[in-house]
Chain A
Amino acid sequence: GAVVSQHPSWVICKSGTSVKIECRSLDFQATTMFWYRQFPKQSLMLMATSNEGSKATYEQGVEKDKFLINHASLTLSTLTVTSAHPEDSSFYICSARGQGDSGANVLTFGAGSRLTVL
């Protein structure tokens, strides 16, 4: 089945530094990737949608200059949290949508990345 690899699974950084999270589709080409943020015991909150080769579309209220998303290839998307602050501490999850009849209408998720900003 489809597999999405997300790294790192856990990162701790100092306030003011930037952190990059990678999301790779291992066995399929992902035309679209979605980035979510999840707070404890809450549901997924869509942050942005990225399509390969074009700029990401951010949800209302999400700062695009703080959360930089790059989808440079059909198998890789990255989320960079710039100048991170403690309030950015959260669980970030990526998902990928494939191609074709069987892949275009289902999402495969990565394992998530826990960010702690000190």
Chain B
Amino acid sequence: QKEVEQDPGPLSVPEGAIVSLNCTYSNSAFQYFMWYRQYSRKGPELLMYTYSSGNKEDGRFTAQVDKSSKYISLFIRDSQPSDSATYLCAMTNTGNQFYFGTGTSLTVIP
């Protein structure tokens, strides 16, 4: 079983839709959770960083962590064509090793 599972998509939504991206994980020791956005031929860009369970909101983005279910989500409200990218979840317990999902490819259609 992989440490982190993420549906690769592709996911295609109309502009303005709410997008839900998810990852599940197997290691209950993970405490720090990240979401990255990666445009084609660019390095991943940190979108959200959360510690332990709960929600965190930043503009149109909301990150949720449910440690009891080992499940994390990223919601994008009012999606824009510029949100079209690959989204990677990542997590760690100590910061010595980071575990990544395979990424979900998102296309927002104008």
- Which B residues are in CB contact (< 8 Å) with A44? 44, 88, 100
- Which A residues are in CB contact (< 8 Å) with B44? 44, 93, 95, 109
Known: A32-B96, A104-B95. A114 touches B41 (CB 8 A): yes
Q: Which 4 A-B pairs have the closest CB atoms?
A: A105-B32, A109-B43, A105-B95, A112-B43
- Which B residues are in CB contact (< 8 Å) with A105? 31-32, 51, 92, 94-95
Give residues of chain B (1-55) contacting chain A, Cβ–Cβ below 8 Å.
Answer: 31-32, 34, 36, 41-46, 49, 51
A residues touching B (Cβ–Cβ < 8 Å)? 1, 4, 6, 32, 34, 41-44, 91, 93, 95, 97, 104-112, 114
Contact with A along B68-110 (1 / 0, CB 8 A): 0000000000000000000010101011101011110100000
- Total residues of chain B contacting the partner, CB 8 A: 24
Min distance, Cβ A94 to any Cβ of chain B, angstroms: 8
* Bound-state Cα–Cα, A6 to B45, Å: 13
Min distance, Cβ B3 to any Cβ of chain A, angstroms: 12
* Bound-state Cα–Cα, A1 to B49, Å: 12
- Which of B43, B95, B98 is A111 in contact with, Cβ under 8 Å? B43
